[in-house]
Structure 1
Amino acid sequence: MMQVIYDPLLPWAAIWASAAGVVLIVALALWRRLPGWWLRGLAGAALLAALANPSLQDEAQTPLSDIVVLVVDESASQTLSDRAVQTARAIDEMERAIAGLENTELRVVSLGDAPGDEGTLLMTALSEAVAEEPRGRLAGAVLLTDGRLHDVDRAPDLPAPLHVLLTGHEDDWDRRLVVENAPAFAILDEEVTLTLRIEDQGQAPAGDGLVELDVAVDGGAVRQVRVPVGEDLTLPLTLTHGGTNVIQFTTPAAEGELTDRNNTAVVQINGVRDRLSVLLVSGEPHPGERTWRNLLKSDSSVDLVHFTILRPPEKQDGVPVSELSLIAFPTRELFLDKIDEFDLIIFDRYKRRGILPAIYFDNIRRYVEDGGAVLIAAGPDFASADSIYRTPLGQILPAAPTGRVIERGYLPELAPLGERHPVTAGLPDLAPPGAEGAPGWGRWFRQIDLDPRAGQVVMQGVGDRPLLVLDRVGEGRVALLGSDQAWLWSRGFEGGGPQLELLRRLAHWMMKEPELDEEALTATAEGQRMTVTRRTLADEVGELEITGPDGNVTTAPLQEVAPGRFQAEVTGPEIGLYRLSEGDQSAVIALGPAAPREFEETVASGAALEPVVARGRGGIVRLEDGVPSVRQVREGRPAAGRGWIGVTPRHAYVTSDVTVTPLVPAWLFLVLAAGLSLGAWMREGRR
């Protein structure tokens, strides 16, 4: 390519000033009617041309090929129906079509599902692809997709047309289950309301408008109901246990729908108790009584009813009852009428005193078997003839008193089983720094000798005798603490001990808090990685069995990380609901939503891309109608039509060599100017 360029000998300002002087001289000569005025003007022009120094520039240009970017959507929704086949065929046809265009190259970029649950980031992939190519060479871009993207707001500004090749079929349809509203927390045994919606997308077949909905809690028995399609459904639900409750909703797959991956919704609700109701009955005032009271009163979720028996009925000392009793002991209301309203009953150094007849103790036994909890903090009274063990309550106690009370110093310690039981596991780690003794705890000085008959011995005292025995009776729980001197730890005697933590765990185990169950399988998730914990009193466990969302079953070994605690870390290959089991324990956990974002809308549609495509006058073409041909169109013209899409040639090039040659030698301009000036002088002199 050749062109004229200027390399002035003087600054352009000086040249323009000289030009003004030449014009002035010519104008003066014309005004004076000098016949050589035009020769003076030509001489001045020759001098100005010499100062401008015109040159001829010859560029050797190498043309560059135009680039067309093809972004291929390989997300999960593109695996539905025959979209993968349509995609493969379209790629082959596009490669042949672009190869048939003169001086045009094709760049193919693929993208899958975004990390986590971000969906299809199609525009992000397009932006990154065009950023790697020179903007001046970009002749067009093509998106091979089902139109379901989640970042349309990141669409780049392209200098060329953008086209969409749409997979799928116009008569596709799909059914989707959506959770409109679900609480994160719910109170146990109280009804909570969830809002669901089942909606059909696309060309759904006509029906009666009702479908079946399966509801399962924690992977248990399935409850089936018929619900309408396209309406908000309000479902009442009552949680029966604390901790995480996993509720799964499923509608069966219908014939002809694209996928059943979005026919399931999983809701995780944390069950909490509204208030824990505790009845504390103290047989007589003693230092440990305040310890129990302070522990229970410090918990804002506990409603405490506390009675201390100060004066037995048989005591006759002439003192008026009104001066001794603050309130009458409502035995019938507490132990017959309203006993089932309590979550836990604690007997602290209580013995038979003629206040509670045998029928009341028998009702307490029935209360435990039906799911209640009783804790006995035994003092010397438990070993006496008036022991409450000698009532119907003794039928459910895990140990019997031998009648011996040991009065000497000893260090409470964990029994072998106690190192694994959640109530006592890890308690030695709570010992104060520098404390003496094996566990680093202070001594106690009284122990009731017990003969264990059931349950688990988790703490022991003098001569390895049972100190704390736990047991499950029917649906309820019973605990027997064979000493009334736990309060010494709270006073810091000889360094004290984890008294508050022990009693807190004990009380919460009695009230069936899930995190203190001795046999349990739990799981937590972070992203696609889940940590599974197996708590057990056994010395070893089997392998963890994992059932994925697709029904495939895999196993993973459980490694012991602490006494009674085995763990496994597993990465889920896909988002969805996983069922875990080991032995007779099972759990469910959801990694991400049961229906990933990629399957929220599965019917192919170009509606979201229409505004972006319209900017460059491109087109949206359904592949079921055939792969369009590709042709070249001028910039600014419509770039799509019936059965074809267009790309805009960019005519880009790179300059490989530049040659600059003066147009006329400077001395020639000077000779020409001198000759013209001489001619003007001679013409005017002859006149």
Structure 2
Amino acid sequence: MLHDVTPAPDTPFNDWDIVATSAWPAWVHALAVVAVVFALALSWTSTRGAPLRLRLGLLSLRAVLGALLVCLLLQPGRRLLATSRQPDRVVVAVDTSASMAVGEGNQQRVRRAATAALAVIDDVTQREPPFAPEVWLFDDTLKKAGVDDLRALADGARPAQGPATRVALPLEAVIEADGGARAPLGGVVVVSDGGDTTGLPVALTTDLRERAARLGGSDPPAPLHAVVVGADASFQDVVVDRVVADEFAFVRNPMTVEVTLRQRGYGDQAVPVTLAEDGVLVAKNEVSFAGEATVKTTFTLTPQRSGKHLYTVQAAVLAGEAIAENNRADFTVKLIRDRIRVLQVTGRPSWDERFVRRLLKENPSVDLISFFILRSTTDISGAHNSEMSLIPFPTRELFTEQLGTFDVVIFQDFNYRPYQMGIYLQNVADYVKNGGGFLMLGGDLSFSEGDYDGSPVADVLPIRLRPGHGHTDVEDFVPVVTDAGRRHPVTDIGGVVDTGAGNGNPFAALPPLQGLNLSAGLQPDAVALLTHPAQNDDNGASQPVIAVRDVGRGRSVAITTDTLWHWALPQAANGRGSPSDAHRRLLANTLRWLIRDPELSHVKLTLDAPGDIARGVEPGAPVTAEIRAFDARYDAEPGAKVRLTLQPLDTAGARQAPVVVQGETGADGTFRAPLHPQGPGAWRVRVEVEKAGQAIGFDEDVFVVRAASLERLYGEARPELLAALAAAGGGQAVDVDDVEGLPFVDHGRVRVHRQKTEPLWNRPAALALVALIAAVEWWWRRRRGFA
């Protein structure tokens, strides 16, 4: 019984029960019961020796008397109740998304759905006992409605135009809203075409199945019924239902794309399915449905170019298809290098070379080509070259034919002059300016000591070299991190060592370094990340230990010591029992920065649109581009010029002129621009940022504008999904023309409208009864000679 009293003075009393009205505390009642038990025991012992029949008679009278006295203490009363049967709720949820507008006149899906919902309401309200219907309308949101709204939908006065469909939304909302003082749930009826746009599979999700099975939180649970609209036998369509591909893939490695096709009305017909990359056909399969509603096909390809690329799955449009736009699915894959190709040229073996080479070889993402120059053309070998086991250094091949195939070139303690390499240094400089990465490590044969002053390589280094030799220092030192170094990704090794000893500077907590190649100072556009604590350059600034520079489209790094390997020794772990990770992190960060890893870019492009942009942009929806620019120190770069280009990727749109947007970053280094792609298809956004005529960087991204709205693409009815939902909820899936007689749960809950209590204990008859029983017991005991 539900004691939710609602004042209704005119409702007659139709039920009653007995209640205790005593205000005495419980301990008083307990004490009374103890007293009665004591009186009974006293009565029994005081009649010892008398006939058993007499003893039992006296004990019974005293027990009745004691019970009456306890009852009077409880002050019984009769509670009069005015009640009514509370009907269980039946939620009727009607789909009003745009796909429900399919059909003409009275055969329009939404009109048939509303008519069916009205029939369900008439049915449940005329049952005995009746149910209380609740009307909900849903698409991608849920709203309460009424019978008048259903009549408007049934008459065609209210259109179905919701932007998307969440078939499971009514179920989720019922579960969240159920409970409290609301009437119990008798069942849920979902009236829909099943055209879910969230990608809900027929198997549903585990959580959804479990929650549907416990609908209403009662025993038995409330059933979930589905009324299917639009499952016409004449409807024909082929849908690219799902595409499964990794968001990231490796260049020159096989990539698999799994495509799920769904058909209705085509039986065992075959359909060609193609896969295109940036509008260029790369694979084709012939798929036969063989009478199945759903089939899968797989494409395997080996991409060759890095970057973000558009892939298009296209199923041929068959004769009589209701929706041609859903035969295509576009998606993007970011193709990245599987390995970084590194050329390491070393003048002679050393501890620094050994540690660097070991880290490069252990890194699975690095493809290392390493050369040790152990003899020059001027060395006297005492034997003919054909008798030597050392191979000649392939100077011309490396620095003319193969140089462009490397991502990073490392010169480590290497003097070029003895190997007649001077004519190739311009190639190295051009390689850097055209996008390559160059790293020079310190040593007795590096920088000025390697005769690089005045060479083309000196022009691309981050530091200015001093002429001649003898520009070295051999003292121990602890490098000082600069403000730029605290923010730069190259020197971001936080967390790999204890920093307490260095007041937040991880390098101060590492073992000291020994030896430094001295320079004249930084190039004008270079940045020092670590500096020497005592040595100064020609301008009085601290000598750089690690410096970085952007050179044209490439980058260069100078590390002016050959003892960074100290940071790989066990003592660098500050007593933690394992070798420090600082050396590995620093070298890995340097490689990532040199190859312009997108995560370390000076320009970040972010695209945003209503909904999930990864699933495609609705036709006509705006796309917002946000560009963030950073300077060499990775601070926000205000006042930078931004050039943004929007270009269609599809072959059909290749003749369209690109849309160009120009602007300038604000004080926070950010620039935002709305983009309005003209038509469906794939679009590439490229942003280039510069300041004072110097390029800061670029970034690009790809997005897809759908050929039609999600409701149009998922416009076919899916009775199998509704049937699965009903089965999970213990209900039935019925046709829109057969909705009567659906079973629901009646919990039999009663609502109390008003009540009144009449005392029974203070009536003369009750008091007279107590007095009579007490007198009879006293008279009988006295007559038999008992006290």
TM-score (norm 1): 0.58
SS of the equivalent of 2:485 reads helix
Q: Quickly say closer, same or farther: Cα 1:89–1:471, change in 2 above 3 A.
A: farther
Determine the structure 2 residue equivalent to 1:69.
90
What CA deviation, in whole Å up to 9, does each residue of 1:659-686 have, x standing for no partner?
A: xxxxxxxxxxxxxxxxxxxxxxxxxxxx
Determine the structure 1 residue equivalent to 2:528.
458
Determine the structure 2 residue equivalent to 1:468.
546
Determine the structure 2 residue equivalent to 1:284.
348
SS of the equivalent of 2:508 reads coil
Query: Residues 285 and 308 of structure 1 are in contact (CA less than 8 Å); yes or no, is this contact kept in structure 2?
Result: yes
* Residue 146 of structure 1 pairs with residue 193 of structure 2: yes
Query: Residues 523 and 587 of structure 1 are in contact (CA less than 8 Å); yes or no, is this contact kept in structure 2?
Result: no
Determine the structure 2 residue equivalent to 1:33.
none
Determine the structure 1 residue equivalent to 2:619.
none
Query: Residues 345 and 372 of structure 2 are in contact (CA less than 8 Å); yes or no, is this contact kept in structure 1?
Result: yes
User: Which of 223, 241, 255 is the matching residue for 1:192?
Assistant: 255
Determine the structure 2 residue equivalent to 1:422.
489
Give the Cα–Cα distance (whole angstroms) in 2 for the partners of residues 290 and 604 of structure 1. Answer: 66
Give the Cα–Cα distance (whole angstroms) in 1 for the partners of residues 496 and 613 of structure 2. Answer: 29
Give the Cα–Cα distance (whole angstroms) in 2 for the partners of residues 646 and 435 of structure 1. Answer: 74
Q: Quickly say closer, same or farther: Cα 1:385–1:619, change in 2 above 3 A.
A: closer
User: Which of 422, 426, 441 is the matching residue for 1:377?
Assistant: 441
Q: Quickly say closer, same or farther: Cα 1:326–1:76, change in 2 above 3 A.
A: farther
Determine the structure 1 residue equivalent to 2:717.
604
SS of the equivalent of 1:407 reads strand
* Residue 354 of structure 1 pairs with residue 418 of structure 2: yes
Give the Cα–Cα distance (whole angstroms) in 2 for the partners of residues 452 and 185 of structure 1. Answer: 38
Determine the structure 2 residue equivalent to 1:329.
392
Determine the structure 2 residue equivalent to 1:673.
none
Trace 1:511-590 onto structure 2 (pairs within 5 A): 511-521=595-605, 536-537=630-631, 538-540=635-637
What CA deviation, in whole Å up to 9, does each residue of 1:556-604 have, x standing for no partner?
A: x9999xxx999xxxxxxxxxx999999856666999x999999996422
Amino acid of the residue matched to residue 636 of structure 2?
D
SS of the equivalent of 2:418 reads coil
Determine the structure 2 residue equivalent to 1:24.
none
Give the Cα–Cα distance (whole angstroms) in 1 for the partners of residues 249 and 126 of structure 2. Answer: 65
What CA deviation, in whole Å up to 9, does each residue of 1:52-88 have, x standing for no partner?
A: xxxxxxxx99884765724315586776657566655
Determine the structure 1 residue equivalent to 2:168.
120
C-alpha displacement at 1:449, in angstroms? 0.8
Determine the structure 1 residue equivalent to 2:76.
none
Give the Cα–Cα distance (whole angstroms) in 1 for the partners of residues 437 and 733 of structure 2. Answer: 72
Number of matched residues?
A: 552
Determine the structure 1 residue equivalent to 2:585.
501
Q: Quickly say closer, same or farther: Cα 1:647–1:425, change in 2 above 3 A.
A: closer
User: Which of 559, 580, 587 is the matching residue for 1:481?
Assistant: 559
Deviates more, 1:125-134 or 1:503-512: 125-134
User: Which of 506, 512, 516 is the matching residue for 1:446?
Assistant: 516
SS of the equivalent of 1:423 reads coil
Trace 1:58-457 onto structure 2 (pairs within 5 A): 64=85, 67=88, 69-74=90-95, 81=102, 91=117, 95=121, 104-108=130-134, 110=136, 120=168, 142-147=189-194, 150=204, 154=212, 164-168=226-230, 170=232, 176-183=239-246, 186-190=249-253, 192-196=255-259, 201=264, 232=297, 234=299, 236=301, 238=303, 240-241=305-306, 245=308, 247=310, 249=312, 264-266=329-331, 268=333, 271-273=336-338, 275-316=339-380, 319-320=382-383, 327-332=390-395, 333-382=397-446, 384=448, 387-403=451-467, 405-407=471-473, 409=475, 410-425=477-492, 430=497, 432-435=499-502, 440=508, 442-453=512-523, 455-457=525-527
Give the Cα–Cα distance (whole angstroms) in 1 for the partners of residues 221 and 584 of structure 2. Answer: 72
Q: Quickly say closer, same or farther: Cα 1:403–1:378, change in 2 above 3 A.
A: farther
C-alpha displacement at 1:387, in angstroms? 1.4
Give the Cα–Cα distance (whole angstroms) in 2 for the partners of residues 436 and 163 of structure 1. Answer: 66
Q: Quickly say closer, same or farther: Cα 1:294–1:595, change in 2 above 3 A.
A: farther
Query: Residues 214 and 223 of structure 1 are in contact (CA less than 8 Å); yes or no, is this contact kept in structure 2?
Result: yes
Give the Cα–Cα distance (whole angstroms) in 2 for the partners of residues 252 and 406 of structure 1. Answer: 68
C-alpha displacement at 1:282, in angstroms? 1.9
User: Which of 715, 734, 741 is the matching residue for 1:620?
Assistant: 734
Amino acid of the residue matched to residue 376 of structure 2?
P
Q: Quickly say closer, same or farther: Cα 1:337–1:267, change in 2 above 3 A.
A: closer
What CA deviation, in whole Å up to 9, does each residue of 1:599-658 have, x standing for no partner?
A: 996422545666969x99988343xx7xx8x9xxxxxxxx56xxxx899999999999xx
Q: Quickly say closer, same or farther: Cα 1:102–1:310, change in 2 above 3 A.
A: closer
CA RMSD for the aligned pairs?
Answer: 6.4
C-alpha displacement at 1:241, in angstroms? 3.5
Amino acid of the residue matched to residue 520 of structure 1?
K
Q: Quickly say closer, same or farther: Cα 1:597–1:270, change in 2 above 3 A.
A: farther
Amino acid of the residue matched to residue 108 of structure 1?
E
C-alpha displacement at 1:401, in angstroms? 0.6
Give the Cα–Cα distance (whole angstroms) in 2 for the partners of residues 594 and 199 of structure 1. Answer: 19
Q: Quickly say closer, same or farther: Cα 1:350–1:246, change in 2 above 3 A.
A: same
What CA deviation, in whole Å up to 9, does each residue of 1:201-236 have, x standing for no partner?
A: 5699xx9978998755xxxxx668998996757474
SS of the equivalent of 1:347 reads strand
Q: Quickly say closer, same or farther: Cα 1:453–1:349, change in 2 above 3 A.
A: same
C-alpha displacement at 1:342, in angstroms? 3.5
Unaligned runs of 5+ in 1: 1-59, 217-221, 548-556, 567-576, 631-638, 657-687
Q: Quickly say closer, same or farther: Cα 1:89–1:341, change in 2 above 3 A.
A: same
Give the Cα–Cα distance (whole angstroms) in 1 for the partners of residues 225 and 503 of structure 2. Answer: 79
C-alpha displacement at 1:372, in angstroms? 3.6
Give the Cα–Cα distance (whole angstroms) in 2 for the partners of residues 433 and 617 of structure 1. Answer: 65
Q: Quickly say closer, same or farther: Cα 1:602–1:402, change in 2 above 3 A.
A: same
Amino acid of the residue matched to residue 440 of structure 1?
A
SS of the equivalent of 1:104 reads coil
Give the Cα–Cα distance (whole angstroms) in 1 for the partners of residues 347 and 110 of structure 2. Answer: 78
C-alpha displacement at 1:375, in angstroms? 1.4
Q: Quickly say closer, same or farther: Cα 1:646–1:450, change in 2 above 3 A.
A: same
SS of the equivalent of 1:354 reads helix
Amino acid of the residue matched to residue 176 of structure 1?
V
Deviates more, 1:295-304 or 1:252-261: 252-261
Give the Cα–Cα distance (whole angstroms) in 2 for the partners of residues 136 and 434 of structure 1. Answer: 66
Give the Cα–Cα distance (whole angstroms) in 2 for the partners of residues 648 and 384 of structure 1. Answer: 90
Give the Cα–Cα distance (whole angstroms) in 1 for the partners of residues 363 and 498 of structure 2. Answer: 23
Query: Residues 75 and 120 of structure 1 are in contact (CA less than 8 Å); yes or no, is this contact kept in structure 2?
Result: no
C-alpha displacement at 1:494, in angstroms? 13
Amino acid of the residue matched to residue 146 of structure 1?
D
What CA deviation, in whole Å up to 9, does each residue of 1:18-73 have, x standing for no partner?
A: xxxxxxxxxxxxxxxxxxxxxxxxxxxxxxxxxxxxxxxxxx99884765724315
C-alpha displacement at 1:238, in angstroms? 1.7
Q: Quickly say closer, same or farther: Cα 1:109–1:319, change in 2 above 3 A.
A: farther
The percent identity for this pair of structures is 22
C-alpha displacement at 1:296, in angstroms? 1.9
C-alpha displacement at 1:348, in angstroms? 1.0
C-alpha displacement at 1:113, in angstroms? 6.1
C-alpha displacement at 1:536, in angstroms? 2.6
Query: Residues 307 and 329 of structure 1 are in contact (CA less than 8 Å); yes or no, is this contact kept in structure 2?
Result: no
